[in-house]
Structure 1
Amino acid sequence: MLHLLPRIKTLAAEAAADTVALRQHLHAHPELSFQEFNTAAFVKEQLEKLGLHPQPMATTGLVVLIEGQNPGRRVVALRADMDALPIQEQNEVPYRSRNPGVMHACGHDVHTSSLLGTARILSQLRTEFEGTVKLIFQPGEELLPGGASLMIQEGVLKNPAPASILGQHVFPLLPAGKIGLRAGRYMASTDELYLTVRGKGGHGAMPEQNIDPVLVAAHIIVAAQQIVSRRANPKLPSVLSFGKVIANGATNVIPNEVKLEGTFRTLNEEWREEAHGHLRRLVEGLAESMGATCELEIRRGYPYLENEPQLTARTRAAAEEYLGAENVVELDQWMAAEDFAYYSQAAPACFYRLGTRAADGRFAASVHTPTFDIDTKALETGPGLMAWLTLRELAAED
């Protein structure tokens, strides 16, 4: 197997300019979650040019197989997401978004073009490996219920079922040419919280005649933090944040209701369920004790993301072969969420981070910002590395 490593690097280098062009096309034509019709058509066209036969799933998703020798020996799945964000791009580059208010600010154009590059490499090596590679191009990572959940519901992890699944995500904190990974619990579950506190509005100068929902909401915001500080195991990361408060009164007007929006995140599904119950009892009971009511809607988001330890160890070892040990770093837990977590709950999974910052510090803007961009060196590293990881995983015995 090691004899293929230099060949993969050569193929990745030869394809790099085309991979960059694919990414720039995708970046210039972003589409929002579950609206990736043109994106999916473009990806389908690129796959067909490689002699592959992609099949549609979950409206704008695609799945395609690359079969090597002895296709039934082992199946490895690779995933990329295709949707963009509702952000107005501020980069002044030739490939800036042509769709007002929509931008690939989370790097999904990188993920998609990189996986297309991997498909190109693996297609050229079909006679050199045994097993089957399943490529998953999914919609809607940025929007509940998450495209991954819909792809799984439609059977993307069946017929054939993968022994493992790999995914990558851009990471501007790391220079291009490096990757980061972490075994075990890596990313958080995420739930959206919507609260409506109802009281009795009136003149601000006569509070005794009113039930002030603003005051009740303020107590709820403060008291709810005890869910994390006093109910959660201190060894288990949990986050409870309120980012939106709407109280449409005035300087002298107490409103009838206040709306709150927030998020709850953790790394344990049992505690997640328990915390939901604690929060509901707290907000309803506190509001009642102050003469008001509180309605709480919890919209369940993605589960926590688990990198299977043995698979992650194999991925780390293979990445060190390809990049050198100095270019493979250990990541900390991250309380952001990713719908790749659904795959990790259904099959052995490894989700790693692809460095995209330039060596001179350029391209350091965070994801989900209007100035996010990448060092194109990542588009040579990403496809080649994933091809190598795939071949190593196809050759694994367990």
Structure 2
Amino acid sequence: MKEKIKQLAGKYAAEFVANRRHLHTNPELSFQEYETQKFVAEQLQTLGLAPQAMANTGLVALLEGKNPSKKVVALRADMDALPILEANDVSYKSTNPGVMHACGHDVHTASLLGVARILTELKDEFEGTVKLVFQPGEELAPGGASMMIREGVLENPTPQGMIGQHVAPQIPVGKIGFREGMYMASTDEIYLTVKGKGGHGAAPELGVDPVLVASHLIVALQQIVSRNRPQNSPSVLSFGRVIANGATNVIPNEVKIDGTFRCMNEIWREEGLRRIQKLAEGLCESMGAECEVRIVRGYPYLENHPELTRRLRAEASEYMGEENIVDLDIWMAGEDFAFYSQVTDSCFYRLGTRNEERGIVSGVHTPTFDVDEHSLEIGAGLMSWLALQELAV
């Protein structure tokens, strides 16, 4: 079976690349993936599958082998692009100015379409069902995964496992990365407005300087992480935007502070957010100011199920060779695949796309991001192999 999958992946590699280039040329923002949804649906229908719309711009399709109810495995790809102006000079450059597939979701979608192509030809040779999940809106809260789950993507039929892959520009093409347990962080947004009483910079005693209060607040908030987080629980609190719209001799009435809180422990997440709000309000009050706190809840942390991940790593080693499997570090970025990992056995692994000789080295979310397209043949073939191996467990 392994050799059959590799043969089919090679046979249809040009098709996988063509699909990826079509998607890359025609990117759409989160929850606006209407043409992408239409394209994916048409590709699935040509294979005899019957995709169903879900979460407005998402799709789900069942690829049934023999004895479809024996076991179900779900495979996920996200479809949305980012609000980035592409700087690459390539034939498949984005034709939607200011929108770009800068995170590899075009690769994820094309790879999963490749899985559909490969496994459709093998459907008489395996038992069980592969649920193909094409998800919208990974890049924007509340996350398409949460919407898909709410609308029943993990029901009728219920998968025994969920598998996702993501491009990795730091890993050379031909290699795959795995990590058991904690992998990616929860992502919550923190918006603080410190309100004081502005006035002339030469007479601060006549008002309440929100710039000074905000400065104390930013420093004090760091102590929540450094002094309260549980041991062995990675956590980050960062502020990247501070607006104090005064002047050299003008103290403003308020200061706005925007940041992010990230961790890998849902209990600590709740406690940390509570402490952030309490400290912000209390410290500002103690200095004669007020603080409005707004917290936008993002994605939970991503947990790779240990047993499932160990199996997939061993299966990937068999397909790729042990020398091509690498260990991943904890990554404090967020990913809405985490929603799946909180409710079902899940594994999120990384697909190497880097090629230094060809200058394909840019990171995700940059205007020069690109991939070595040989990764599409690998991605589609490996995911097909992993799905069939899991169905056989």
TM-score, normalising length from structure 1?
A: 0.98
2:23 counterpart letter in structure 1: L
In structure 2, what is the Cα distance between the partners aligned to 1:333 and 1:288?
37
User: How far apart are 1:234 and its partner, in Å?
Assistant: 3.5
Give yes or no for the alignment of 1:327 onto 2:327: no
1:46 is matched with which residue?
43
8 Å Cα contact 1:33-1:84 kept in structure 2? yes
* 2:351 aligned counterpart, secondary structure: strand
What's the CA shift string for 1:20-67, capped at 9, x where partnerless? 010000001000000000000000011011110000000000000000
Give yes or no for the alignment of 1:122 onto 2:119: yes
Give yes or no for the alignment of 1:389 onto 2:376: no
In structure 2, what is the Cα distance between the partners aligned to 1:105 and 1:269?
29
1:246 counterpart letter in structure 2: I
Instruction: Pick one of 261, 264, 267 that aligns with 1:264.
Output: 261
User: How far apart are 1:362 and its partner, in Å?
Assistant: 2.3
* 1:47 aligned counterpart, secondary structure: helix
Instruction: Pick one of 226, 231, 246 that aligns with 2:223.
Output: 226
Instruction: Pick one of 273, 277, 283 that aligns with 1:276.
Output: 273
Unpaired segments of 5 or more residues in structure 1? none
2:208 counterpart letter in structure 1: I
1:367 is matched with which residue?
364
What's the CA shift string for 1:251-280, capped at 9, x where partnerless? 111111111100000000000001111111
In structure 1, what is the Cα distance between the partners aligned to 2:191 and 2:109?
33
User: How far apart are 1:363 and its partner, in Å?
Assistant: 1.2
In structure 2, what is the Cα distance between the partners aligned to 1:250 and 1:92?
42
2:206 is matched with which residue?
209
2:18 is matched with which residue?
21
Q: How many equivalent residue pairs?
A: 393
4+ residue segments displaced more than 6 Å: none
* 1:339 aligned counterpart, secondary structure: coil
User: How far apart are 1:210 and its partner, in Å?
Assistant: 1.2
2:267 counterpart letter in structure 1: E
User: How far apart are 1:233 and its partner, in Å?
Assistant: 2.0
In structure 2, what is the Cα distance between the partners aligned to 1:257 and 1:361?
50
Instruction: Pick one of 129, 139, 143 that aligns with 1:142.
Output: 139
1:153 is matched with which residue?
150
User: How far apart are 1:329 and its partner, in Å?
Assistant: 0.7
Give yes or no for the alignment of 1:196 onto 2:193: yes
User: How far apart are 1:361 and its partner, in Å?
Assistant: 6.1
8 Å Cα contact 1:176-1:359 kept in structure 2? no
User: What percent of counterpart residues are identical?
Assistant: 67
* 1:346 aligned counterpart, secondary structure: coil
* 1:244 aligned counterpart, secondary structure: strand
Unpaired segments of 5 or more residues in structure 2? none
In structure 2, what is the Cα distance between the partners aligned to 1:278 and 1:361?
48
* 2:357 aligned counterpart, secondary structure: coil
In structure 2, what is the Cα distance between the partners aligned to 1:360 and 1:143?
34
Question: CA RMSD, aligned part only?
Answer: 0.7
* 1:90-129 aligned within 5 A: 90-129=87-126
What's the CA shift string for 1:298-326, capped at 9, x where partnerless? 11100000100110011001100100000
Instruction: Pick one of 71, 74, 79 that aligns with 1:74.
Output: 71
1:36 is matched with which residue?
33
* 1:156 aligned counterpart, secondary structure: coil
1:189 counterpart letter in structure 2: S
1:65 is matched with which residue?
62
2:172 is matched with which residue?
175
In structure 1, what is the Cα distance between the partners aligned to 2:167 and 2:359?
15
2:199 counterpart letter in structure 1: G
In structure 1, what is the Cα distance between the partners aligned to 2:330 and 2:131?
28
2:81 is matched with which residue?
84
* 1:243 aligned counterpart, secondary structure: strand
Give yes or no for the alignment of 1:290 onto 2:287: yes
